[in-house]
Structure 1
Amino acid sequence: MVRSAVLALVMLASVCSFPALAADTPFQEALHAARNDDWEGLSRAQARLGDDHPLQAYLDFHRLRAALPDLNPDRVADYARRYPDSPLPNDIRQLALVAYARDNRWDAARAVYDEPPRSLELNCLYWRAQWQAGNEQALSRARELWLSGNSRPSACDAIFNAARDRGVIGQAEIWQRMELAFYERGPGLMRYLRPMLDDQPYGTAADWLLDLYGDPEQLTGIPKSLPDDQRQVLLAAGFRRLAYTDTVKAREWFEDDLGDLGFTDAALIERSGQRIAWYSTIRGIEDNRDWLDDWLRDHGGDSLVDQRARRAVIEQEWDELPDWIALLPEAERKDSRWLYWAGRAAEENGDEQRARSLWQQAAAQRNFYGFLAADRIGEPYRFSNAVPTGDQTLPELPALARIQLLREQDEPGLAWSEWNWLMWHSNETRQRQLAQYALDAGWYDLTVQASIQARAWDVLAWRFPAAHQQRFQEAGRRHRLDPWLAMAIARRESAFYPNARSPVGALGLMQLMPGTAAKVAREAGQGVPAERQVLDPATNIELGTRYLGDLLDRFNGNRLLALAAYNAGPGRIAQWLAEEDEAVPVDVWIESIPFRETRDYVQAVLTYRVLFEGLHGNPESRTAMLLLPAESGTPYSLAMIED
């Protein structure tokens, strides 16, 4: 059980594995000792703290953690009763379940959870414990967990094996999972599953499924001797893969050869056509254009029509764009994005009055295209800023005292967990009270999190607090850049959570990759910073703004190119700029950025920058702040970076 179970144990034990800066206070000494199983040191520090310290739950947590797997599960329940308003009881339950399972203490494992936990790995362990007690429902739940195109933790293997032994997971379920893995682009999982299938009735079809993943053009050779339901699945899989590898050929065969291939399943044919249409659209394949447009008019699909309208923008097909926008759902048509582009089409088609009307509608919205539309008609931006209302007085909550202490003890991760637990267990009124409390306390990352939980989209004081403003201003002066832009990056990257870590390893407020942080530090004549230093807000802001300044220098001060590079890497920018004779306007270039994440990122950061300056800088200047004249007036092409 396993490596993945061990990984879960390590992750859940974050309260015992994160290194402290220094043992400067009795609690820091105690926590450092507890994390390192130094019980004598803990006893000495505990004597100085007393037994009623507000953070006592953390020290008791480690005593329980260290006693696993021999710990009596009653002590886990007692711990939950003693600390009912804390996230820690759930943490110790998770650790206990993993530890008991590894030690085959299934009675104890069943005792720590009354219902299945959310984590996939813990869910498998929970149902394995139930199966050990003869609960037949465990096998049907195992079947549900099995049917996925993605790999499952090895902690699930035992309950899967039990379900296979009892026939709850049989040949049909293994074949179904192979099909799901194909659609999730999981050839490794497909190869893992293949030996589980007998030659009949699914083995031959499974071999063909693997072959089609490697060479989808083999779909013309699928044996007609296979059962028809398997052939239909294989033909659909082959067309899906061929749409990715050779979209033109996929369209030609789909258009001309369905009858000869014996592809008759209407639902699978529809799905295959939509996939060919998707790649035809996002790749802008001219050879498929007539077929694509006919397909979309007959079959629709909101996401496909959206992409087709976007393709019309990229190719500046201003005559055709209104027709594609008209096929979008009403809610999409009324969104500022498509109101803006409908206005651009009207302008290009000579209808200035309609363009202005559409831009006025778009300008009522607080977002990138709303602000862009406002600039088109020379109107101020609509912030639609709601003032917090209601009783802001909170009762005394022990969790708030713990959060305060944890932040003072330089434990942002633990404070974050406490805050999230408190938010999840509060109603909307309490969440709003907590948002204002956090803002007053200067807990800017927690303020933003509270605004999200409370869905307080119009309370901009909570969503865009002036976090670390002085640091950003000082760093901006040092590196000759706009501090509001750097602050907007931090808001987008981490929502001001200083301990943020991305799945790929980016760290801190401005989400710096360790290699980037090291490179910037070396170029500044400094030593390579340790991870803990990169997480420090002052260091992170210094290195992040220096890196941003380098990108702005590299791209001649163009913030759009620099932001796209910050998100996707500098090397991609040249790929996204056309030859000089194909230069495009700034708005078209933004819409043409291939990565949706980067498109959204550039728009969000520029929008956040406007909000920060409008809220905390010059509130009178709320127009023409989105793009600089040089950015909006320059055609976008490779000529911008050739120097």
Structure 2
Amino acid sequence: MLARQKFYRNHFFSVIGLSLGLFCSQVSATTLDQQRQLYQDAKQSIKASEFGKLDSIKAKLADYPLLPYVEAAQLSKQLASVTQKQISEFGKQYPDVPVTTQLQQRWLNQLIRQKRWKAYLPALAKSGINGSEKYECYRRHALMETGHKAKAIAGIDAFWNVGHSRPDACDSSFEYWQKTKGGPSSALATSRFWKSVAAKQMSLAKYLRRFITAKQDKAVIDRFYKIQANPELLTKKNALKDDTLANRETYLYGLTRLSLSKPAAAAKTWLTVRDTLKFNTKRKESLNRRLASRLQSKAPKGALKLIEQLGDNQDETIQNRLFRTALIKEDWQEVFRLISNLPEETQKNERWVYWRTLAASHTQGLTPAASQAFVTLSKERSYYGLLAADILNRPFSLNPTATKPAGKALNTLAETPAFKRMFELYKQNEHYLARREWNRITQDADSDTFYAAATLAHQWGWHDQAIRGAAKARVWDAIDIRFPAPYTKIFDKMAAELEIDTNWARAVARQESAYQTTVRSSAGARGLMQLMPKTAKQTAKKFDVKYKGVTDLNRPVININLGSAYLAQMQKRFKGNQILATAAYNAGPHRVDQWLKARGHLPMDIWVETIPFRETNKYVRNVIAYHAIYATIAGESKHSLEQPAFELALQDAVGAKQSKTLRKQIKQQLSAY
């Protein structure tokens, strides 16, 4: 194990403030475990500004992989008195350590705060930080402040001409440019105006009008604002004739606005102009999809026909909208036709293979067993493979890989300075910094390197990163890496107490966080099972769980306890139906109630397929598949679709045209889930 390997010095380390002689006299045979504790002591010394104590600690960390992080932390603490020479020397000594970039940014920010513009210019040049809008604006400002005004506005025309607002630091150079050079020209301002419209930066576009003086440009922009106020003007025949940038942007913007109230009118107008004007392909597809979405939402007369015209049989996103509508109606002829209209390569996707086969089973008398594509699908380790296997009464397949990275390759990678630092950061529970190391070393890595990196992370127990690495390597059959089983005792204990399936709870945790204990979502959900603090508090009270606050959600035992309890609560609410309970865990029980009220008569495979929320749709399918995988790994004789706890509460649609025999078989198979 890497944790037991001895770390040898392969770099010449010099410590700021200490001479090499002092280093050599103080370095002793410090063990790795001692160095890990000394690293924590060093951080505390820096926090307390005890730099004399820090020097003696650093001497014992001479060959410790995280010494650069200690030195960077010290420099950051003493930033007010640090010199450019020290920052530059640190950068030369540790050019490949991610913390170097962060230190250089802190140094630049310090110079900005102190308004040390003369020092800022060479500091930025030496930092190697390129492409930063913020620092480029301050570079121009620094040139203004140091009397190099001509240099400050060099190339400023192109720099100014973007579809968003530049940082305030650019104002001084922009103002000087306008005052001395008369910039921007009316043509340049017009160009930026349309870029702003394309980026939907309407406040910026309004500001730019003051610079537009050309009579023709002003007239075109005045017309744009009339259409903004009344987008229905675009529905008039030949409202905008010529194929110009202004006309294209006006159509794209105006029809988007019109679709909010009159999607059919917007779609009809769009269909008359989209192929006559030279619209950007991506933006054309984007408006196609937006209009299709509005048509489906508003459902005006003739909406389906318009949606199909927008998709032109090639846009899978739009075809998917039509497909979902046909599936909810159980119009199998239409389902088959829509899938058959997709490009041949797209039809090979397992989702379309599954539904095309079922549609063909009653429109053309084709049984799933007679479809080679369906038989092949039944051997896949996926949600649709699981459903197909069950219909064909085949065992669920794990298909684990038999190959692993060579031991020599693993050892070589483990001995690189970056992976040594990464491992120590992981051991120090500084996962955020460890991920920075990972991102730096794998930036241009090939598949084999990613696989080896994922294998190392898995050996360390860093499961979320190992899972991501395996995905990057596209080693989908590396089951041991992609589906680890940490915290087994906790999951089993909670599942037994709450009378839920332990593999179900584990599948939810795998989907929610990939076993990252401290992850926090943008919405505020935390920990392994991604609980919202409010939900955690309510669940803790209901199930009498000791819970002190949100920080407890970073503790696996508390998080798994509360997450499992909430799953049990949802399972009870939805009468044992774990599919509905899974959907409720992700989207909330009230939304599931709404979906059931709107289309609760559907068979469960169709119900899952037509969940309105894209995230929840994918979430439920993944949890079902992960449940089957964990159950199979556990050696259970019955896979997830045969678990009694997965009984359906829904009934088949009345009047369904599907073959009674096949639907009965599918219902029997799925209703056990």
Which bracket does the TM-score occupy, shorter chain normalised?
0.7 to 0.9
The answer as to 2:496 corresponding to 1:484 is no
Aligned pair in 2 of structure 1 residues 292, 473: CA closer, same or farther (>3 Å)? same
- Give, as a single letter, the amino acid of the residue that structure 2 aligns with 1:113: S
Q: Which of 255, 278, 283 is equivalent to 1:239? A: 255
Match of 2:606 in 1: 588
Aligned pair in 2 of structure 1 residues 517, 465: CA closer, same or farther (>3 Å)? same
Match of 1:39 in 2: 49
Aligned pair in 2 of structure 1 residues 171, 460: CA closer, same or farther (>3 Å)? farther
Aligned pair in 2 of structure 1 residues 179, 406: CA closer, same or farther (>3 Å)? same
The whole-number CA distance in structure 2 between the counterparts of 1:241 and 1:618 is 56
Q: Which of 159, 168, 177 is equivalent to 1:142? A: 159
Q: Percent identity?
A: 27
Q: Deviations over 1:296-319 (max 9, x none)?
A: 575743432333233322332211
The whole-number CA distance in structure 2 between the counterparts of 1:240 and 1:300 is 21
- Residue 500 of structure 1 aligns to a residue whose secondary structure is coil
- Give, as a single letter, the amino acid of the residue that structure 2 aligns with 1:28: Q
Q: Deviations over 1:417-454 (max 9, x none)?
A: 33333433755434333322222232222322321333
Alpha-carbon shift at residue 590 of structure 1 (Å)? 1.4
Aligned pair in 2 of structure 1 residues 414, 325: CA closer, same or farther (>3 Å)? same
The answer as to 2:66 corresponding to 1:72 is no
Contact 1:236 1:272 in 2 (8 A): no
The whole-number CA distance in structure 1 between the counterparts of 2:355 and 2:515 is 33
Match of 1:630 in 2: 647
- Give, as a single letter, the amino acid of the residue that structure 1 aligns with 2:443: W
Bigger Cα displacement from structure 2, 134-143 vs 340-349? 134-143
- Give, as a single letter, the amino acid of the residue that structure 2 aligns with 1:324: L
The whole-number CA distance in structure 2 between the counterparts of 1:354 and 1:454 is 33
Q: Which of 25, 39, 45 is equivalent to 1:27? A: 39
Q: How does 1:337-356 map to 2 (within 5 A)?
A: 337-349=351-363, 351-353=365-367, 356=370
- Residue 42 of structure 2 aligns to a residue whose secondary structure is helix
Bigger Cα displacement from structure 2, 221-230 vs 166-175? 221-230
The higher radius of gyration belongs to: 2
The answer as to 2:73 corresponding to 1:59 is no
Bigger Cα displacement from structure 2, 283-292 vs 331-340? 283-292
Q: How does 1:386-401 map to 2 (within 5 A)?
A: 386-393=401-408, 394-395=411-412, 396-401=415-420
The whole-number CA distance in structure 1 between the counterparts of 2:178 and 2:500 is 62
Aligned pair in 2 of structure 1 residues 279, 410: CA closer, same or farther (>3 Å)? closer
Q: Deviations over 1:360-386 (max 9, x none)?
A: 132243321122122121112233321
The whole-number CA distance in structure 2 between the counterparts of 1:623 and 1:555 is 18
Q: Deviations over 1:309-339 (max 9, x none)?
A: 3332233221122222122122210011000
The whole-number CA distance in structure 1 between the counterparts of 2:238 and 2:284 is 22
- Give, as a single letter, the amino acid of the residue that structure 1 aligns with 2:648: E
Aligned pair in 2 of structure 1 residues 483, 109: CA closer, same or farther (>3 Å)? farther
Gapped regions of structure 1 (runs ≥ 5): 1-23, 638-643
- Give, as a single letter, the amino acid of the residue that structure 2 aligns with 1:553: K
Alpha-carbon shift at residue 477 of structure 1 (Å)? 2.2
Bigger Cα displacement from structure 2, 539-548 vs 628-637? 628-637
- Give, as a single letter, the amino acid of the residue that structure 2 aligns with 1:39: S
Q: Considering only aligned residues, what root-mean-square deviation do their CA atoms show, in Å?
A: 4.1
Match of 1:371 in 2: 386
Bigger Cα displacement from structure 2, 532-541 vs 316-325? 532-541
Aligned pair in 2 of structure 1 residues 405, 231: CA closer, same or farther (>3 Å)? closer
TM-score (ref. length: structure 1): 0.80
Match of 2:297 in 1: 283
Contact 2:231 2:254 in 1 (8 A): yes
The answer as to 2:530 corresponding to 1:511 is yes
The whole-number CA distance in structure 1 between the counterparts of 2:643 and 2:229 is 47
Contact 1:498 1:509 in 2 (8 A): yes
TM-score (ref. length: structure 2): 0.77
The whole-number CA distance in structure 1 between the counterparts of 2:223 and 2:644 is 54
The whole-number CA distance in structure 2 between the counterparts of 1:598 and 1:317 is 24
Q: Which of 95, 101, 114 is equivalent to 1:90? A: 101
Aligned pair in 2 of structure 1 residues 414, 522: CA closer, same or farther (>3 Å)? farther
Aligned pair in 2 of structure 1 residues 519, 354: CA closer, same or farther (>3 Å)? closer
Alpha-carbon shift at residue 341 of structure 1 (Å)? 0.7
Q: How does 1:515-554 map to 2 (within 5 A)?
A: 515-525=534-544, 529-554=548-573
Match of 2:110 in 1: 99
The whole-number CA distance in structure 1 between the counterparts of 2:235 and 2:549 is 57
Q: Which of 456, 459, 464 is equivalent to 1:440? A: 459
Count matched residues.
Answer: 601
Bigger Cα displacement from structure 2, 220-229 vs 522-531? 220-229
Contact 2:483 2:630 in 1 (8 A): yes
Alpha-carbon shift at residue 180 of structure 1 (Å)? 5.2
The answer as to 2:467 corresponding to 1:456 is no
Contact 1:567 1:598 in 2 (8 A): yes
The whole-number CA distance in structure 1 between the counterparts of 2:374 and 2:570 is 32
Aligned pair in 2 of structure 1 residues 314, 284: CA closer, same or farther (>3 Å)? farther
The whole-number CA distance in structure 2 between the counterparts of 1:529 and 1:208 is 60
Q: Deviations over 1:186-237 (max 9, x none)?
A: 5555556566656955556556656655653455699989998445533442
- Residue 573 of structure 1 aligns to a residue whose secondary structure is helix
The whole-number CA distance in structure 2 between the counterparts of 1:204 and 1:529 is 64
The whole-number CA distance in structure 2 between the counterparts of 1:124 and 1:551 is 53
Contact 2:624 2:640 in 1 (8 A): no
The whole-number CA distance in structure 2 between the counterparts of 1:527 and 1:620 is 36
The whole-number CA distance in structure 1 between the counterparts of 2:486 and 2:183 is 55
- Residue 556 of structure 1 aligns to a residue whose secondary structure is coil
